[in-house]
Amino acid sequence: MMNKVFGGTVHRKSVREDGVFNIALDNSCSLFRGLQKEEHVLLTHGDSVDKVADGFKVVAQSGNIVAAIANEQKKLYGTQFHPEVDLTERGMDMLRNFLFEIAGCSSNFTVQNRQMNCIREIKEKVDKSKVLVLLSGGVDSTVCTALLNKALNQEQVIAVHIDNGFMRKRESQSVEEALTKLSIKLKGNIQKVPFSSLV
């Protein structure tokens, strides 16, 4: 996509690459700094870069197929492989290079920091009010309710489980049991809310 947006071309080749392959890297490229000249990566594609966009250069290849491009001046990098998966053996190093060396991020984020910031913000905004929270049992509503429970007194949090009509058999019961294990006390249960009323 990046190559095409910047004026290059991409075409479907007669050959697909699906699986773990050795690719040749230009390890002078910021994205691949500290890596070997050859690395194992997961490739899953049929479309390939045909003509490289102006300002970009090929920084990785799988045989004669382009596996990565870069424009170091604009700090733009595109990979045709998956650095985010375990099958790409040095993928985390590539992501670390991108985040800390290229994008200039710092590594001071922790889940505990984020949780403490959320709890502090909830306490400031809610103060002594009550909060009605509707729980489907999904990640978003459950995490929100768990944070509310940590930040506020239990009588301030009115947690109601919503069966939206799309639940699997016994899913509402499983959700309620899971919430109880998280010390989330439900104040009620709304059964089968018509979908039209949610839209």
Q: List, as residue ranges, the binding site.
A: 136-142
Hey, what's the torsion of the CAs at 20, 26, 28, 30, to 10 degrees? -50
Surface-to-core class of residue 72, CB atoms within 10 Å of its CB (0-12 exposed, 13-18 middle, 19+ buried): middle
Q: What does DSSP say about strands 65-71 and 57-62: parallel, antiparallel, or unpaired?
A: antiparallel
Surface-to-core class of residue 43, CB atoms within 10 Å of its CB (0-12 exposed, 13-18 middle, 19+ buried): buried
Binding residue positions for ATP: 136-142
Distance, CA of 68 to CA of 49 (rounded, Å) = 9
Distance, CA of 170 to CA of 168 (rounded, Å) = 6
Alpha carbon distances (Å) from 107 to 31, 33, 94: 17, 18, 15
Contact by Cβ (8 Å): 56, 44: no
Distance, CA of 79 to CA of 112 (rounded, Å) = 32
Length of the chain: 199
Amino acid letter, residue 92: M
Give the three-class secondary structure for 84.
coil
